[in-house]
Structure 1
Amino acid sequence: MTLMDEFRTRNFSIYGQWTGVIAMILCFALGIANIFNFHWVIVFSVICLVCSFIILFIEIPLLLRICPTSGKFDEFIRRFNTSYMRAAVYGVMSTIQWLSIIAKTTSLIAAAILLLVAAAFYALAGLKKQEFMSSKTLGGQGVAQMIV
């Protein structure tokens, strides 16, 4: 199944996964860009950077097999294997970035918006009772099992 075939399935978990990957890149970039603020918004930029790495392991399951991580971290990441759990974690990450407005209005709002969109996609997948589907391009649906 190609990437376009995956998008044609109209499964919102695929949309959420790809939105999450874009959010991961944006969180990393904006976290680094805002870390140079001489304001306490630096805390939110560090949190944004940490969120980008959490998203990396959530959305690309192949990395859990390749990268040497602790058992506790693997267990934490594996909790997010349903659409509702992913919607919850993205919702929490989005809320944290929205709270950065309290400190100072910065470009972290873009990360908050994209994280909220990813949460909405995963929530829609759960509400529509769509089976959780992971993109083969990102190492899901049997690709990770082929390596071991």
Structure 2
Amino acid sequence: MVLMEELRSRNFSLYAQWGGIISIILLIVLGAVGFLGNIPFAILGWIFAFVLVFVEVPLCIKFCPTSPRFDTFVSGFENSYLRAGLYMVMAIVMFASNAVSSGVLNLPAVFLLLTSLCYLVAGFKQQPHASSKVLGGTGVDNVV
């Protein structure tokens, strides 16, 4: 039921968070699939997925031991515009993998781009940042 409430909330930062989760899964899985064909970009995809896990899943930053420097870096992305920029840069890098070899890394690039656009819409609509209750966040209770 929680997920349906979040979908009905019309909060684009929640939509973007779920787009980010899909991007993480695609970066990991398709990075493994395309590893031999495009080693540098597959490794970059895994690094991006690692960073995005800490940006998108608030529970991870609480339970996983990380350095204060990394925590400061991740906490800097509370603004929708900064998150949109992060996702846009990652999407451009993944689209650049197509210049080296056409492969499966274009699909995560598309989801990174869509997630970036959702964060931009959330910023333009001045929607407060919210994170899914399913992923250890606050949900829509304090947003709606």
TM-score range, shorter chain: over 0.9
Q: Give yes or no for the alignment of 1:55 onto 2:57.
A: no
Where does structure 2 lack aligned partners over 5 or more consecutive residues?
A: 140-144
Q: In structure 2, what is the equivalent of residue 145 of structure 1? A: none
Q: Give yes or no for the alignment of 1:137 onto 2:134.
A: yes
- TM-score of the pair, normalised by structure 2: 0.92
Deviation at 1:73, TM superposition (A): 0.8
Structure 1: distance between partners of 2:60 and 2:110: 26
Structure 1: distance between partners of 2:65 and 2:104: 33
Amino acid at match of 1:100: S
Q: Give yes or no for the alignment of 1:4 onto 2:4.
A: yes
Describe how 1:62-77 pairs up with structure 2 within 5 A: 62-77=59-74
Which secondary structure does the structure 2 equivalent of 1:17 belong to?
Answer: helix
Which of 19, 26, 42 is residue 45 of structure 1 equivalent to?
Answer: 42
Deviation at 1:122, TM superposition (A): 0.5
Structure 2: distance between partners of 1:139 and 1:80: 17
Structure 1: distance between partners of 2:113 and 2:103: 17
Structure 2: distance between partners of 1:112 and 1:49: 13
Which secondary structure does the structure 2 equivalent of 1:79 belong to?
Answer: helix
Structure 1: distance between partners of 2:14 and 2:105: 24
Deviation at 1:117, TM superposition (A): 0.5
Which secondary structure does the structure 1 equivalent of 2:78 belong to?
Answer: coil
Off by >4 Å, runs of 4+ in structure 1:
none
- Number of matched pairs: 139
Structure 1: distance between partners of 2:80 and 2:136: 17
State percent identity of aligned pairs: 41
Describe how 1:1-148 pairs up with structure 2 within 5 A: 2-37=2-37, 41-141=38-138
Q: How large is the RMSD of aligned CA atoms in angstroms? A: 1.2
Deviation at 1:111, TM superposition (A): 0.8
Where does structure 1 lack aligned partners over 5 or more consecutive residues?
A: 143-148
